[in-house]
Structure 1
């Protein structure tokens, strides 16, 4: 039995587009993916891009900062 989440081509396209569009780091992309999956229970490309833009504009780079931001905005709960 395998664990994890498998991304389809469409999701991979959104991830690549989002990173280039926002000028985000790999770390910001990873955090945005994790939060998107936790909040939406699936990968939602437009949600991911919007969240990634927020992380970038706020200068959030660490996982701790990203999850704290998401909690403060009511995106996810503990």
Structure 2
């Protein structure tokens, strides 16, 4: 499966009803630059944040993002399993 660009992923979220404000989007791009994470890692961090917090929480997002960067997992499924194995309900 081909991965979407971050821009396409954010556009898809909006079509599904998840409207992220300019501040949240700016923070997402800040996190990408700060961690040098790939788009798939950024997307999973956003997905986990929205599923767990029911909103975009910038500090939670950053914690998830940094943990994903540290794990060095490559696939979305493995990244999501990592959090489920830690007992995080999604």
Unaligned runs of 5+ in 2: 1-14
> In the alignment, which residue of structure 1 is the partner of 2:24?
11
Question: Could you tell me how far 1:14 is from its partner in structure 2?
Answer: 1.1
Match of 2:71 among 42, 55, 58: 58
Question: Could you tell me how far 1:61 is from its partner in structure 2?
Answer: 2.4
> In the alignment, which residue of structure 2 is the partner of 1:75?
88
Q: CA RMSD in A?
A: 1.3
CA contact (8 A) 1:60 1:66 kept: yes
Q: TM-score, normalised by structure 1?
A: 0.88
The size of the alignment, in residue pairs, is 76
CA contact (8 A) 1:35 1:76 kept: no
CA distance in 1, matches of 2:75, 2:17: 22
Q: Deviations over 1:16-72 (max 9, x none)?
A: 011111110000000110011001010001110110010011002211011101111
Match of 2:47 among 25, 34, 51: 34
Q: TM-score, normalised by structure 2?
A: 0.77
Unaligned runs of 5+ in 1: none
Q: Which runs of 4+ in 1 moved over 3 A?
A: none
